[in-house]
Chain A
Amino acid sequence: MTMDDKKRTDLMNYLKEKALWVRRETLKIHAVSAETRVASSMSDVEIFVALYYGGVLRFDAKNILWPERDRLIVSKGHGAISLYPIFADTGYFDKSELTTVGKAGSFLGGIPDPIIPGLETVNGSLGHGLGVACGVALALRKSASNAKVFVLLGDGELYEGSVWEAIMFAAHHRLSNLTMIVDNNKICMLDYCKNVLDLGCIEDKFKVFGWNVSTVDGHNMEEVYDSLMHLKTANGDRPKVLVANTVKGKGIPQLENDSLCHIKSLKVEEIDRLLSDPLLTVAGEVM
């Protein structure tokens, strides 16, 4: 094993450990506030971990409006409770805040809003994030900034017509500083997307709209990390989309493969059982 190999193995082990920790913390948040969308917040964990712990995003938690920061716009706001532990861990706010989600006086709601340090936009109403991200990308290009714009959408969100207005816009204006990530967990609120309105091959759709398209297994840490790193630095004059094939409710047997898992809340006892399961245990952590 070369030094570089070892570094990479260490990094991947570190990211995987973080992903596990984020899943545990997300469950604990769900125990505090049953209204949070836990299944939607589990499919994007590896994406968030790669962005914030893998060095994909440049950010400064102590200077949240740092002009050179990369921007992440979380368009699927309901599925981003898993960002809270990451924000706390990376210094945006104190970890003790994680026990206040949904409570009077807290700034951590069931859906993240920009009253939270580190959040760029208003989230919660679907279909807005990509268009807003295009505006941000235009402004950054105009000011010759090197900062990149990332935007996370769910596959169900692709039903919103405004998303396609923005898809056309980004391609026409060759917003190469923009990377969209589709959390393709294949389930919207009431059913599998294929039973609601079949999205077909998402990659093909983006290709014909003029985007640079790639696909990963959204729970394979190596693949997610490598793709995001590559897309961030890739040359070219086209916007980029990463279709991350994921599982809604990933890691939680009661949620995985349940077409109604979006609206499912776990009981506190269930969460306690999950947290003591060896599969969800982080080495050295005291529950």
Chain B
Amino acid sequence: MSMVAQSIGQKKTMRDAFIERLYDKMAQDEGIFFLAADFGSPALDRVRASFKDRFINVGIAEQNLINIATGLAIEGCTVYAYAIAPFLTMRAYEQIRVNLSLFSELKDLNVNLIGVGAGLSYDVSGPTHHCVEDISIMRLLPNFHVLSPSDWRMAETFVDYTIKHKRPKYLRFDGKPAEPLYDSTDAIDVEKGFCELAAGEKVCLISTGFMTHRALKALEALKDINPCLIDMFMLKPVRDDALFEVLKRYETIITIEEGFINNGGLDSLIANVLNKHQSNIRLRKLGFNDKYVFELGDRQHLHALNGMDEGSIINEVRGCVK
């Protein structure tokens, strides 16, 4: 098994890593605004102190967050709109649809939605704070790019991408600090959108965000089977031809996501790629079934309850090669 990644290094949140890099950009470019819906991070404190007229806390008002961001972007500013992921994407969905997705058909609007708390990051806060719909609903919107980093090193590299591509984007960040998966950023080709973390045989695991950590752990117990692992971090647009070139080497693909399955998420993205290439590769899906999670417990416990923990991934892979 060839590995380009392993879990070693400093624990950090994606948002801190991203904002630290963005700080330098804001120091160079007066046209960059950072808007927050009363949500912070340690790294953001420095931004607030240094750029008093370009850091704006709009209050607990996600709809206005998007509208203000739109107005600034119309005038050519590069804007970051920062909030807790489910509230950012779902409270303000119609503002996002009309003012960003739809308007981008006609005008370059560089608005970067930073949603913190992807999946079950906020495990014990319950289903209002779980974000298990965002991949589906944000991929749906024309003109959006959707980025789902798996570690803070990757999140940090996305800063350049957000400045370069003058269009609306959604970045779904995990809420919890974690060690990096990637030793360096050399293996991260943002435009390509995915990284083959481990080449293998017969079975290919595809995961996004935090679930890539889970999948990587599961691989350690699957050395005898040697499955492949793909970290999928660009959920829109998808380089489907390049992706299929990798997928076609396998008999079974297993998608792993902290989202509802069969409803437009990572699994649907892969199904579309297979369908486009008229492939009969078997597709298995790990994620939440069509129900919300009220059970309490930490993320590990909730994943186990929903068939998404390491043990479940291992069982799924073993079941596929029987």
Contacts and interface: CB of A to CB of B under 8 A. Distances in A.
Interface of A: 114-115, 120-122, 124-125, 127-128, 130-140, 142-143, 161-162, 165-166, 168-169, 173
A169 B58 contact: yes
A138 B67 CA distance: 12
B224 interface: no
Contacts of A130: 67
A169 B102 CA distance: 24
Given A115-B106, A122-B98, A122-B99, A128 B53 contact: no
Interface in B35-65: 53-54, 56, 58-59, 61, 63-64
A200 to B, nearest CB: 23
Q: Is the interface of A mostly helix, strand, loop or mixed?
A: helix
A166 B76 contact: no
B77 A139 contact: yes
B92 to A, nearest CB: 9
Contact of B68 (A115, A124, A127, A134): A134
Given A121-B103, A139-B75, A140-B75, A132 B94 contact: no
A124 B72 CA distance: 20
A133 B74 CA distance: 10
A120 B70 CA distance: 12
A51 to B, nearest CB: 19
B69 interface: yes
B95 A134 contact: no
Given A125-B98, A128-B67, A165-B64, A135 B59 contact: no
Closest 3 CB pairs of A and B: A135-B71, A131-B67, A139-B75
B74 to A, nearest CB: 6
Interface of B: 30, 33, 53-54, 56, 58-59, 61, 63-64, 66-77, 94-95, 98-99, 102-103, 106-107
Given A131-B66, A134-B67, A139-B76, 6 more contacts: A120-B74, A128-B67, A134-B64, A135-B75, A136-B72, A165-B64
13 contacts: A114-B103, A122-B103, A128-B70, A132-B68, A132-B99, A135-B74, A135-B75, A137-B71, A138-B72, A142-B30, A165-B59, A169-B61, A169-B68
Contact of B74 (A132, A142, A169): A132
B41 to A, nearest CB: 22
Contact of B71 (A114, A115, A133): A133
A121 B107 CA distance: 10
Given A125-B98, A161-B63, A169-B61, A131 B103 contact: no
Contacts of B61: 165, 168-169
Contact of A135 (B54, B72, B102): B72
B106 A138 contact: no
A135 to B, nearest CB: 2
Contacts of B30: 142
Given A165-B59, A169-B61, A132 B67 contact: yes
Contacts of B94: 125
Contacts of B98: 122, 124-125, 128
